[in-house]
Structure formats: structure tokens, C-alpha cells
Amino acid sequence: MELRCTVSPVEWRQDRVRILDQTRLPWEQSFIEMRDYLAVANAIREMRVRGAPAIGVAGAYGAALGALAIQTEDREAFLGELHKVIYTLAATRPTAVNLTWALRRVGQAVSRGRDVLQMKSLAVEEAQKIQHEEELATERLGRQGADLIPDGATVLTHCNAGALATCGCGTALGAIRTAKLQGKQVRVLATETRPLLQGARLTAWELAQEGIPVTLIADSAAGHFMSRGKVDCVIVGADRVAANGDVANKVGTYSLAVLAAENGVPFYVAAPLSTIDLTLASGDQIPIEERSPEEVTHILGSRTAPEGVSAFNPAFDVTPSRYITAIITPAGIARQPYIVSLRQAIEGRTQVGGGDNA
Ligand code: MRU
């Protein structure tokens, strides 16, 4: 049986980009159609489309829209304008490397065009190709990850690394869905994921729709469940993986990894190859997006903290690789030493993995 997900966070429709507005979930499924790359940039910044692979694809389509709108026949002038488009889109969210990776691909594809007309169609074609490749990669990743999930397992996940965050059925949730498809009984503990509640609003919504048993917990309850032996493994997504295996993911991931190590629970990260950044030696070099303090002082637009109180809001944190049991990629399961196994995965060598740090 094949794994199929009906949710599609980003689509290209006749020279428009259509996104499912994730800020409106789970209350309503509403879509936004955009013809202007600046609208796409705003949608990414405002997290109407979110999740590392999905913003990569949305960014690529944004660049394609930008390319189509450039009014010149001159090849060099066209490339100069496209550079501005790509720069604007890349600046929207700095942590997920998928965005800059996808934009670079569109830029490189366009530069192979003979004339402006051809360059415009190359931009659209490359963005579509990225989406298709990401779909296939997510499927392969799901199969790799499912092998790590025992029958009867309770898997804890954080944020949303599901169909809404990718093209396909998700990374962490893709592994869970595939395990379910293979006939395994799997239960999910989903952290609510403050401040923007991706776990409560998105992961719980996605899984409940498919009848996968999901129980929502407060972020701060994770240690309680792990210490009572109620969690068989943790699987999370990633926004960027450095060459040494350090992982940036939704803030709170680091705390979960430390708790997992303390309680002897395997901690897995699921990431497509577009999320692996071998140019960064370690997680210290990963830029961490800081979002508005209002996301912390308010919940869903209602103030919960006293007027005038200050707040900091890093959207991501970095989990050192020593806490990570394995990194699930479409090319295989990477293990310590990640400096070797991640390069093998990227270079397409089949033998991924070294020792086991579990
Ligand atoms: O701020 P978000 O909602 O875009 O953060 C998303 C995450 O942290 C996901 O875990 C990550 O992008 C992986 S999605 C497959």
C-alpha cells in the first residue's frame, strides 16, 4: 500500500502560488492565492506557510513569481532583478536552510537560460522540480524512519514535522504514518509547542484526521512522561543540521533531547538532505530566528502577561549531536560520527552510519 496525504501546504496553479493558511488551522481550512513574490515573502514571515521543507518550496515558487514579473529583455538586467527577489525571500526566515538552498537552485537554473523568456520558464520548472524531489525524498525518509519505530510504540514529537511542513506526508510524522501503514500500532504524544502551538493546532489536527491516536501534552510535561517510561522514542524534524550533526529545530527540542538522554529514550531527528548544511561545522554557526516578543506575551492574540513586561522569543534552539541517537534521512539512517555519515548521505553513498551513540 502506498502512503498518501491529502494536505498540501503549497501549490503552483497557473502562474500563482496557493498556500493553505496555517495560522487559521485548526479552525478553518482557508487558502491564499498569490501572484506577487512580496506576498509570498510575507506569508513565509507570518508563518502562513511554515516548516523547513515547505518554506523551501514556497520560496522557490516565490522566486518563480518574481521572475515572471520582471519587465526586461536584457539578460543581465533580468539577473540583477532576480537577485533582489531572491534576497528578499531569503531574508524572511533565517534558520531553515531549505529556503536558501531552494532559492539558490532556482538562481542557478535560471542562469543557464539563453534569453529572458527561457530564464522565466526555467525558474518555474526548477521550483516544480524541487517540489517533486522533496515529495519523493519525504516518502523515502518515512520508510527509513518507520524501521526505527517498534510495534506498540508511543512516539513523542514536538512542533509539526508533518504534511503541513513538507511536500508529502512529513518527516517525523511521515515515519509514524509509514509505521502505521506497515501495520504497527503507534501512539503519538504531541507537545503543544508554545508559543505558536504548532503541536496543538497542526500536529494534533493532522493525526486526528487520519485516526492516528494522538495525545496532547503541555511542553513542560514531557519529562514526566519520559521518567514514567511512557515514551518509547522521540522523533522530531529539523530546520538545519550542521556537518557535525548538531540540529536546529523548534525551540524546546534541546530540552527534550536532554530529557531523553537522562531517561534512556532514543532521540531521533528526521531530515531531508535539503536540511543538511555541510558548510557549517557546528550548530553554533546556525542563525537563530528571533520572533516578536508578542508571540510570548500573548496566546492567539490575547494578552497573557502584564502590560509592559519584556519577553524574548528565539524560534529555534540547537541540540548538540551527542544527544541525538540517529538522524533519519532519505538516504539512510545516519549515526555518529555524523561528520562522516552525513557526508555519505549527501554524496549518495549507500552505507550511511557509524557507531551507535544510543
Ligand atoms: O517555526 P516553524 O513552525 O516553521 O518550525 C518548524 C519546525 O521546527 C519543524 O520541526 C521543522 O521545520 C521541520 S519540518 C519537517
- What confidence tens digit (pLDDT) does each residue in 175-199 have? 999 999 999 999 999 999 999 999 9
Tell me how far the alpha carbon of residue 14 lies from the centroid of ligand 1, in angstroms.
Answer: 28
How, if at all, do strands 233-236 and 153-157 pair? parallel
Give the Cβ contact number of residue 23 at 10 Å.
15
| Confidence at 348, pLDDT banded by 50, 70, 90 | confident
Beta bridge partners of 162: 170
All cell numbers assigned to 180: 502505521
Instruction: Report yes or no: 33 and 17 within 8 Å, Cβ to Cβ.
Output: yes
Does 160 have pLDDT greater than 80? yes
Give the number of the atom of ligand 1 that is nearest the alpha carbon of residue 236: 10
CB atoms within 10 A of CB 26: 15
Enzyme catalytic residues: 239
pLDDT for 77: 97
Helix, strand or coil, per DSSP, at residue 316: strand
pLDDT tens for 106-128 read: 999 999 999 999 999 999 999 99
**DSSP classification of residue 219:** G
Residue 134 has pLDDT above 90, yes or no: yes
Identify the band that residue 2 occupies on the pLDDT scale cut at 50, 70 and 90: confident
Mean pLDDT score, 77-99: 98
Mean pLDDT computed over every residue of the chain? 96
b (16+ CB within 10 A) / e for 174-209:
bbbbbbbbeeeebbbbbbbbbbbbbbbbbbbbbbee
Instruction: Tell me, using a 6 A CB cutoff, whether residue 249 lines ligand 1.
Output: yes
Contact partners, residue 206, CB within 8 Å, separation at least 6 = 7, 160, 162, 163, 164, 170, 173
Q: What's the pLDDT band for 340 if we cut at 50, 70, 90?
A: very high
Q: Grid coordinates standing for 201? A: 493546532
The predicted pLDDT at position 65 comes to 98
Q: In which band, very low, low, confident or very high, does the pLDDT at 352 lie, cut at 50, 70 and 90?
A: low
Q: How far is CA 339 from the centre of its chain?
A: 22
pLDDT at 357 over 50: no
pLDDT (0 to 100) of residue 351 = 47
Is it the case that residue 354 has pLDDT exceeding 50?
no
The CA 251 to ligand 1 mean position distance, Å, reads 10
In the chain, what percentage of residues exceed pLDDT 70?
97
> Which among 24, 102, 29, 96 has a CA at the least distance from the CA of 62?
102
pLDDT given for residue 5 in this prediction? 85
Residue 96's contacts (CB-CB under 8 Å, 6 or more residues apart) are 52, 55, 56, 239, 240, 275
User: Which residue's alpha carbon is at the smallest distance from atom 2 of ligand 1?
Assistant: 51
**Ligand 1 contacts CB of residue 198 (under 6 A):** yes
From CA 248, how far away is CA 245, in angstroms rounded?
A: 10
List 299's β-bridge partners, or say none: 302
CA distance 239 to 55: 10
Ligand 1 near 238 CB (within 6 A)? yes
Q: In the chain, what percentage of residues exceed pLDDT 90? A: 94
Report whether pLDDT(245) > 90: yes
Q: Is the pLDDT of residue 54 over 50?
A: yes
Cβ neighbours of residue 248 closer than 8 Å, sequence gap 6 or more: 95, 238, 239, 240, 241, 283, 286, 288, 316, 317, 318, 319
At residue 4 the predicted structure's pLDDT band, cuts being 50, 70 and 90, is: confident
pLDDT at 356 > cutoff 80: no
Alpha carbons 326 and 158: distance in angstroms, whole number = 17
pLDDT mean over 5-18: 94
For residue 55, give the ligand 1 atom closest to its CA: 4
* Angle, CA 113 vertex, CA 111 and CA 119 arms, to 5°: 90
Contact 49 CB / ligand 1 (< 6 Å) = no
Q: What is the pTM of this model?
A: 0.96
Tell me: pLDDT of 68 over 90: yes
